[in-house]
Amino acid sequence: MAIELKPDFYWSHFNRAKLLIAVGRKEDAIRDYEYLLKRDPRNQEIRNLLNGLRAEIATQPVPNLPSLLRSLPSDVQKEIEGIRQSCRELGPATSDYTPPRVTEGDEGLITFTVSGAQAVLIDELNFCGGGGECIHGVNCATGFTHNVAIYIRTGKSWKKSLSIFASEPVFLDVERGTGKFEVLVLNVFAGDWGCPVRTNAPPHDSCAAVVKWDGTRFVHKLL
């Protein structure tokens, strides 16, 4: 339960950013720092860490690689572009409003491997805002509802291997240095994956669940 992130819990996002940097996922760490800075604009420590990380990435050579996004199924590409377009339409920046950041290209797609095959996590939260921010009607619905899916590449095509509506940000852990999938922790809604439907439960009741790879498929278990 300690690795489950609450949307407004400072240390969860701060520590996750450090973990992401350690495993080479600096772009994902930036989203956590941006999330924290948006909620505490006067936090100079976070501002310095964010600016330093951005400068580090900016000086790194960009490999000439084919677009991962363009290789995904067309319906997935349309869903992602739909989120991005809705995010762009939220309005221009003013003295009182800073629009959420919109990702571009492959940004927001998180890759790893399962049994030697390339896989990608597609989380609606990752394409608008700080990567853990629920913007209603754009990247989530009521109750922090957002779709989380994993696709596995087979040759030149992708197969959807997991898809579920989650509440709250998810936590993905991969093996350092290899990018091998370790575990995915998320909250699922009552009625999904055996999460009980309780009498008089609060709206959008959910259960914490852990997802692992058994060598041939993803399996899940409630915590």
DSSP 8-state code for residue 33: H
pLDDT of residue 5: 47
pLDDT of residue 8: 54
pLDDT of residue 197: 94
* pTM: predicted TM-score of the whole model, two decimal places: 0.71
pLDDT of residue 63: 54
As a whole number of angstroms, the distance between CA 4 and CA 121 comes to 17
Per residue in 55-88, is it b (16+ CB within 10 Å) or e — as a string?
eeeeeeeeeeeeeebebbeeebeebbeebbebbe
As a whole number of angstroms, the distance between CA 179 and CA 209 comes to 22
Render each residue's pLDDT in the chain as its tens digit; 223 residues.
334 445 556 777 788 888 888 777 888 888 888 888 888 888 888 888 888 887 777 666 555 556 899 999 999 999 999 999 999 999 887 878 888 889 999 999 999 999 999 999 999 999 998 777 899 999 999 999 999 999 999 988 999 999 999 999 999 999 988 999 999 999 999 999 999 998 888 888 999 999 999 999 999 999 9
pLDDT of residue 160: 97
End-to-end CA distance of the chain: 8
pLDDT of residue 162: 98
- Sign of the Cα pseudo-torsion (137, 158, 126, 173, in order): positive
pLDDT of residue 68: 92
Q: What tokens were used for 99? A: 């629009």
pLDDT of residue 23: 72
